[in-house]
Amino acid sequence: MSPFLPNATILLLAAIISTAAAAVTPSHTFLRSSCVSARHPELCISSIAASASLLHSISSSKDVIHASLNLTLAAVRRSIAGAKIISARPSLTSRERAAVQDCLEMFDETLDELRRADADLRSYSPGFASSKSLSRHAADLKIMISGAITNQESCADGFSHASDDRRLRLGILRGLTYIERMCENALAMIRNMTDGDMAAAAATEGRKLASRHDGFPEWMTARDRQQLQSADTTADLTVAVDGSGNFRTITEAVAAAPVKSKRRFVIKIKAGVYAENVEVPKNKTNIMFVGDGRTKTVITGSRNVVDGWTTFRSATLAAVGSGFLARDLRIENTAGPSKHQAVALRVGSDLSAFYNCVIIAHQDTLYVHSLRQFFRSCLIQGTVDFIFGNAAAVFQDCDIQARRPGLNQKNMVTAQGRSDPNEPTGIVLQSCRITATDDLEAAKGSFPSYLGRPWKEYSRTVVLRSEIGDFIRPEGWHEWNLDFGLDTLYYGEYENTGPGAGTVRRVDWKGYKVITDAGEAQQFTVGNFLEGSDWLGATGFPFSLGL
């Protein structure tokens, strides 16, 4: 073959190079520079570049994130349409149908979360006056995208219990994988943008970024602030099993509550046992449950996976509407250890809080599913993975008690489900008492117990200044499956006490560490991890912002 090219070939190559150079517009430049920080850069570029209208709309890095969110929203709508088609198949088992319905609910929530993130992004203008601090704006953006990611993971998890589910799981996974990766791209780009903006603001202004410190959201009226600060919270509706209230069931009271309320709506639940599975849906916002005491007002159920429910739908109480509060009541699932996953409380409510509550079951007691959650002075009891999920959840001054599990089971206090390293999520146990119930204490040598195990690859759990009983094994933590997640998780312990707090014999995983720097521990306090100074004052519950 001749080493020289014919003149015609040279001219053709020159034309191609010239055309390609002309096609590199400012929009392409912004796209490529922004997608560098994405988790999946190739997908980031190719998905947006495939749409001429989206590509031409890009004139900033923020526009790239908007474009990514718009494509993701479209993909979620396609998944909803596909799931509805699947749900209509007459051949589905009841278990499969339930899992598809769970997915449809979570897809619907994902649409809301992505729309909120997109709207927040439009109002994001560092350096200009805003009702939100820069750090709060960044936190809101990141937690909404994290919630969307968690919904895709939870949808897939719903098909993993039995072999007959897996055929459906594979079909649904294709859409889920695309949505999740697009969300991961948006989250990475948002983190890159907001981290840079906050660093620049701190450097140029030389001061701490502004934030509300009264703990009330901007929209709340002075009347509502005064009401919430009062120990006597007036009920809007009353539930009583004896008929002395407005309703006999909690479900009826929730149905009667206003839709998308911007003020706190208080439902008083009188002493009694309420045998019902209660759901506070996404359109019932700012609902507050107030019981007569955590030994007097009891919400009880027994749904479980063995009897055909999904883990997601097994919850005795499921709170999804944002701003949900509960105090002075007991929530339980009585299914027992032989029924495996059986949730007492599932929470997917952003800026939700629980005070002086009892939450009791066995496996999977408390599903801190997603978004931001706070628990104060609560009692939580369970066995396997009994605090699990992917919320940003902080537990303060709580009694966390492991129970005697079923035969050949191990107790795992936590199973945190963070699947992406940029998610602002994790389980934090601060100033808690981690102990064994009397039935476990008597047989603790027969049932190994651990602080947690990594449910997902970037699992994050931190134990701060808590008392740890001697029922916890010296290694402290347990693997999920061989070496899965051991290098990528973050498990930290800081200044804990008690006979089970020694760290000399703890696991030697790359992701585990004994925290010795107070500054690092401060990252996981209510003030920093939950932006608690912006909203917890509105709950009327006690809280501590720092260590």
For the chain, the 3-state helix, strand and coil shares in percent, each to the nearest 5, are: 40, 20, 40
Residue 66's H or E segment, with its range, is helix 61-87
Residues carrying an active site annotation: 385
Helix-helix angle 41-49:26-35, to 10 degrees: 150
**Distance separating alpha carbons of residues 99 and 96, to the nearest angstrom:** 5
For the chain, which domains are there?
26-201 (1.20.140.40), 236-382 (2.160.20.10), 390-532 (2.160.20.10)
**Distance separating alpha carbons of residues 403 and 447, to the nearest angstrom:** 10
Order of strands across the sheet that contains 366-368: 278-280, 317-319, 345-347, 366-368, 387-389, 411-416, 449-452
Q: Computed from CA positions of residues 434, 439, 445, 450, in that sequence, does the dihedral angle turn out positive or negative? A: negative
Going residue by residue through the chain (547 aa), what tens digit of pLDDT does each one get?
Answer: 444 445 544 444 444 344 344 456 888 888 999 999 999 999 999 999 999 889 998 999 999 999 999 999 999 999 999 999 988 989 888 888 999 999 999 999 999 999 999 999 999 988 776 778 899 999 999 999 999 999 999 999 988 655 555 667 777 888 899 999 999 999 999 999 999 988 988 877 654 444 444 455 554 555 555 555 554 579 999 999 999 999 999 999 999 999 999 999 999 999 999 999 999 999 999 999 999 999 999 999 999 999 999 999 999 999 999 999 999 999 999 999 999 999 999 999 999 999 999 999 999 999 999 999 999 999 999 999 999 999 999 999 999 999 999 999 999 999 999 999 999 999 999 999 999 999 999 999 999 999 999 999 999 999 999 999 999 999 999 999 999 999 999 999 999 999 999 999 999 999 999 999 999 999 999 999 999 999 999 999 999 999 9
Q: Identify which of 28, 160, 163, 59 has the alpha carbon closest to the alpha carbon of residue 102.
A: 160
Can you say whether residue 102 is alpha, beta or left, with left for phi > 0 and alpha for psi between -120 and 50 degrees? alpha
The owner of tokens 């809280």 is 543
pLDDT for position 14: 45
Q: What ranges in 341-405 are assigned the alpha helix state H?
A: none
Helix-helix angle 94-122:134-157, to 10 degrees: 160
Residue 449's H or E segment, with its range, is strand 449-452
pLDDT for position 166: 63
pLDDT for position 213: 46
Are 95 and 162 in contact by the 8 Å Cβ rule? The answer is yes
pLDDT for position 201: 83
Q: How does DSSP classify residue 81?
A: H
